[in-house]
Structure formats: structure tokens, C-alpha cells
């Protein structure tokens, strides 16, 4: 009997169309897998078996009745807990929202429902997406299916781990400084941060509004492309949403698989290598470059000198915006309330109890950075750095069609290893943050495993704003070349998890 959890989303969709499997069977297989492994992985904060199966049944009935269905109809999906889902608990990984059931759907939630994809549940994340390891979740960490002692990345560790553990074929992520790409990198999966504004943020609980972007998580570039097209598009409810057509990601991925890369210029960002980068990570990165060259691409080196300041600027802009975005968690209208004598004391006590340390650290940082007398030196300067980084990218894209780097400097570290050293934790996002500061799209796909530890390494592709399709073309081309070498996708190389009885 086929284990459908090992198939790609595209294969599942095709098999349902061909009548080889039903959505109920697919959905049940994933629910069974979750039941079997999630006690160890802890990718999910909430599993909605009933809701997922109900959607699956409707899809099966509709298909049986000969209805025209969307491309991914019946393919189950996991949703990061940052996205509000009507009638399904939404916590953003925070105790302050424990038990909250939103009275409305995020735009992307609505689109998933309209695409008729059964929602398996909500995935774990660092509290309010602040973190690179999912250890800052208010509900306990997620573990990396490649090695349960290691972090699955963050903040979207739950979404990435659910894919690597075969608990879901597709997942929604959000990326403010790498929260889709870094987890993809360390779990050997694919993650895409679209152009800022390419996917509606309406109903995504805001971390840093000018940096946040929702995107697809998958095990293959093609699957990510399908999901990207479901999620994307203009939304009148999000003023920052782009009023332009959804990029043709699926076509671009097909082109990447089928055609060579003659005439494509690939720019290697000089600053994103060397000191701090693990040898095995750089080795796999170099090998991937060779594969791209072999398919006809031209590889050039580009320099982005302002990247040196990206992390510093990011850790001023993000906390500033977050300190304001998280003010609404005041106990008055929803969520936790720690009742005290006055409303001020109640607000204070609720926030003291409901927020974790990392959230408090960033709120304090942001409140300070925005204060009168400090604003210009901190927030103001950070915005200037942002402009410089945008200029660096503009200049680099004069020389290359896409830019590339390792997604993360290292393979996943051990749980607890960097908890007491926030700066070391922050450094894990050094290669992913610039794309958020510039609003450009980025993708991470597996480039192999590091010889020294056997853990996944990621390859990052960045494209100019609005040119998301380019990443899919290059990514699919590289993925195909790597798969030919490996005889399949990287996730197939992951050690089998022990299945609970």
C-alpha cells in the first residue's frame, strides 16, 4: 500500500484527479502520521482532525459529482499559528492568546478554504515569531525531525518540521527576517518569502509590519509554486498589498526543470560567506553553484557592503514596530487577563505573565528605540541603513538576475545551545534579513547535508521585487540537478522517526 504522506502535493493532486486516492484518505494518512510522531516532533499546537476531514469529504463529493476543482483541492495543509483562523484557536505561540478563537479569517486562510484544502491544524512557532529556533514558543519547542535534539529553525519551526516529518505536504509560513527560509534550510525543505505585498498580511498577527510577509513552505519547489499562487494576489483589506497579478510561479518552475539556464546570470554575494560559515555549508553551496553552471548559468560575484549593518538595523526596526504592534495585547478585549485593582495594573500584570522573555526583551528594546530623544539615532538611522541595503541590491541586480548565498551560516544547532546568547541566535538570520529590509523575494531550498554532521544545508536565491517567478525557475533547475545526483529529494534521506504505537 502506498504511503501517501511521502508524495509531493503535486503528486497528491494528480492522484486524486486520477481517482487513485481520495482527499479523505490523504487527510487521514496525515492525521495518522501526526498522531504517530508529533508527540516527539511537536510541530502542531492544535490539530483539527474533524474540520480537515469535513473539508476532505466535501472535496471528494464534489469531485465525484464532476465539479471543477481548484488545483490543490483536497491536498491537506498545515497553517502557522500566526494566521487567524475563524473558530480554530490562534495563539501566535503566546500564552497571552491561549484559548483565543478568532471571530474572523485571515485573507490567506480564506484563500486556503476557497482552494478547498483541508487544514490539518496550527503549527508551532516562536512567540509572535520572535526567534530562530521555536524554543521561544509559549507551548514548548518543536524538534528537528533530522535530529530530535536539534532546533527546527524559527520562527516557523513547526511548519518546516511538519513537512520534514511527513505530517503535512504543504504549510503556511511567515517571514520577517528569515522565519520561512531559515527553518526550511535546517530541515531540508523549501521555503519562500514572496515580494513584500505579494501576499496579503490581513489576519496575520503582526510582528514588524514593514518586514512581515506570508509565504509557502513545501518539500519541493513545484509544490511551493502551487501554494504561492493560491496565497498571492491583491487584497483590498491590506493597504500594502501589491495591485498586480500573481506571479506565474508554477510555469517558472516547469521552465526551470525543462530548460537550461543559458544567459542567466547568478550573483554570489561576497559578504555572505567566510567567517562564521560552517565548512560543510559552504561546500554544498559551492557544489550547487557548479550544478547551475553546468546547466548553462553564468556565475558572477557581487558585493553588498551595507549588509554589515543589516542585522543591527533589523534589530532596531523590528522591535520598534513590534513594541507598537503588541500593545493591543492588553487584556481588555481578548486573551489572557490577570485581574488587578486598576486597569493599568491589570494591563501590566497580564503582559508580565502572558509574554515570554524574548518578547519582553524586544518590546523593551523597541520602546526605547522609539523614545523621544532616541528616535533619530536608532529608528531613524536604521531606516537609512535600510535605504543603503536597497541600493546595494539595486546595484547587485544590475550585474545578476538573481543573487545567491547559503541560507544559514550553519546546520541546525542543539536545543538550548543559544538560548542564553540572544546575539548568537540572531546571527543565524544574517543571510536572510537583508531581503526583508529591501522587500525583495527570497527562497531557500536544500543543497544537501553537511559532511561533518549529516545535517541539512540550505541554498538561498534572491530576486528583484516583483520577480518572484525567477526564483522558481532557478530553484527548480537546481532542485532537479540535485535530485538527479541524490536519486530523489533530500527529505528522503532523513532518518526515519520512531513511530508511536
Residues that bind another protein (CB under 8 A): 83-84, 90, 92, 97, 100, 102-104, 106, 201-206, 208-210, 236-240, 320-321, 323-324, 327-330, 332-334, 343-344, 347, 367, 370-372, 375, 379
| Closer by beta carbon to another protein, 366 or else 446 | 366
Minimum distance, C-beta of residue 206 to another protein, in the bound complex (Å): 7
Q: Examine the residue annotation and report whether 179 is marked as an active-site residue of this protein.
A: yes
What is the rounded CA–CA span in Å between residue 492 and residue 440? 31
264 contacts 231 by C-beta, under 8 angstroms: no
Residue 444 catalytic? no
Residue 304 CB, shortest distance to another protein, in Å, is 24
Distances (CA, A) of 1 to 5, 29, 67, 194: 12, 12, 28, 37
| Cell 503582526 -> residue | 206
**Residue 432 burial (10 A CB sphere; 0-12, 13-18, 19+):** buried
Nearer to another protein, 15 or 214 (CB): 214
Tell me the backbone φ, ψ of residue 352, rounded to 5 degrees: -65, -40
454: region left, alpha or beta (phi > 0 left; psi from -120 to 50 alpha): left
Q: Among residues 190 and 208, whose Cβ is nearest to another protein?
A: 208
- Tell the smallest beta-carbon distance from residue 157 to another protein (Å): 20
Q: Which of 105, 111, 104 is nearest to 227 (CA)?
A: 111
Catalytic residue (choose from 94, 132, 155, 185): 155
Query: Residue 97 and residue 336: Cα distance in Å, rounded?
Result: 6
DSSP-derived secondary structure letter, 334: S
Question: Can you say whether residue 340 is alpha, beta or left, with left for phi > 0 and alpha for psi between -120 and 50 degrees?
Answer: beta
CA angle 109, 69, 469 (to 5 degrees): 65
Specify the residue for cell string 520572535: 130
Grid coordinates representing 475? 530553484
Smallest distance from the beta carbon of 155 to another protein, in angstroms?
15
Contact indicator for 326, 129 with CB cutoff of 8 Å: no
Quick one: 279 or 332, whose CB is closer to another protein? Answer: 332
Least CB distance to another protein at residue 465 (A): 15
In the set 8, 23, 80, 193, the catalytic residue is: 80
Closer CB to another protein, 158 or 280, in the complex? 158
467: three-class secondary structure by DSSP: coil
Minimum Å gap between C-beta 349 and another protein is 13
Q: Is the CB of 7 or the CB of 88 nearer to another protein?
A: 88
Among 8, 132, 159, 179, which one carries the catalytic annotation? 179
Residues forming the active site: 80, 155, 179
Amino acid at each position: 500500500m502506498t504511503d501517501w504522506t511521502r508524495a509531493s502535493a503535486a503528486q497528491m493532486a494528480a492522484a486524486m484527479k486520477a481517482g487513485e486516492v481520495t482527499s479523505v484518505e490523504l487527510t487521514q494518512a496525515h492525521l495518522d502520521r501526526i498522531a504517530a510522531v508529533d508527540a516527539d516532533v511537536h510541530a502542531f499546537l492544535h490539530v483539527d482532525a474533524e474540520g480537515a476531514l469535513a473539508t476532505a469529504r466535501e472535496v471528494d463529493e464534489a469531485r465525484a459529482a464532476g465539479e471543477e476543482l481548484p488545483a490543490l483541492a483536497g491536498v491537506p495543509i498545515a497553517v502557522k499559528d500566526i494566521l487567524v483562523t475563524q473558530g480554530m484557536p490562534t495563539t501566535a505561540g503566546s500564552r497571552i492568546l491561549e484559548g483565543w478563537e478568532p471571530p474572523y479569517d485571515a485573507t490567506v486562510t480564506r484563500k486556503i478554504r476557497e482552494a478547498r484544502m483541508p487544514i490539518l491544524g496550527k503549527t508551532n512557532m516562536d512567540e509572535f515569531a520572535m526567534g530562530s529556533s521555536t524554543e521561544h514558543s509559549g507551548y514548548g519547542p518543536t524538534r528537528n525531525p533530522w535530529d530530535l535534539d536539534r532546533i527546527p529553525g524559527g520562527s516557523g519551526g513547526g511548519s518546516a518540521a511538519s513537512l520534514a516529518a511527513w505530517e503535512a505536504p504543504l504549510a503556511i509560513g511567515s517571514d520577517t527576517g528569515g522565519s520561512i527560509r531559515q527553518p526550511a534550510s535546517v530541515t531540508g525543505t523549501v521555503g519562500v518569502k514572496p515580494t513584500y505585498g505579494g501576499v496579503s498580511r490581513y489576519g496575520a498577527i503582526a510582528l514588524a509590519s514593514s518586514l512581515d510577509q506570508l509565504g509557502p513552505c513545501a518539500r519541493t519547489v513545484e509544490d511551493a509554486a502551487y501554494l504561492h499562487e493560491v496565497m498571492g494576489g491583491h487584497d483590498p483589506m491590506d493597504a500594502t498589498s501589491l495591485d498586480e497579478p500573481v506571479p506565474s510561479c508554477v510555469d517558472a518552475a516547469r521552465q526551470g526543470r525543462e530548460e537550461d539556464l543559458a544567459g542567466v546570470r547568478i550573483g554570489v554575494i561576497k559578504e555572505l560567506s567566510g567567517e562564521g560559515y560552517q565548512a560543510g555549508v559552504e561546500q554544498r553551496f559551492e557544489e550547487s553553484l557548479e550544478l547551475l553552471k553546468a546547466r548553462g548559468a553564468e556565475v558572477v560575484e557581487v558585493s553588498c557592503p551595507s549588509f554589515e549593518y543589516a542585522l543591527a538595523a533589523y534589530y532596531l526596526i523590528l522591535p520598534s514596530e513590534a513594541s507598537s504592534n503588541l500593545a493591543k495585547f492588553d487584556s481588555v478585549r481578548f486573551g489572557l487577563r490577570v485581574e488587578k485593582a486598576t486597569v493599568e495594573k491589570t494591563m501590566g500584570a497580564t503582559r508580565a505573565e502572558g509574554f515570554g522573555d524574548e518578547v519582553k526583551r524586544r518590546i523593551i528594546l523597541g520602546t526605547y528605540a522609539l523614545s523621544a530623544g532616541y528616535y533619530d539615532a536608532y529608528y531613524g538611522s536604521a531606516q537609512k541603513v535600510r535605504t543603503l541595503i536597497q541600493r546595494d541590491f539595486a546595484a547587485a541586480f544590475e550585474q545578476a538576475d538573481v543573487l545567491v548565498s547559503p541560507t544559514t551560516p550553519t546546520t541546525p544547532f542543539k536545543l538550548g545551545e543559544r538560548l542564553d546568547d540572544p546575539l548568537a541566535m540572531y546571527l543565524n538570520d544574517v543571510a536572510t534579513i537583508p531581503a526583508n529590509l529591501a522587500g525583495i523575494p527570497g527562497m531557500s531550498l536544500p543543497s544537501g547535508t553537511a559532511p561533518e554532521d549529516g545535517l541539512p544545508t540550505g541554498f538561498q536565491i534572491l530576486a528583484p521585487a516583483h520577480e518572484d517567478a525567477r526564483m522558481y525557475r532557478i530553484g527548480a533547475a537546481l532542485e532537479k540537478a540535485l535530485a538527479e545526483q541524490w536519486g530523489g529529494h533530500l527529505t528522503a534521506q532523513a532518518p526515519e522517526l520512531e513511530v508511536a504505537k
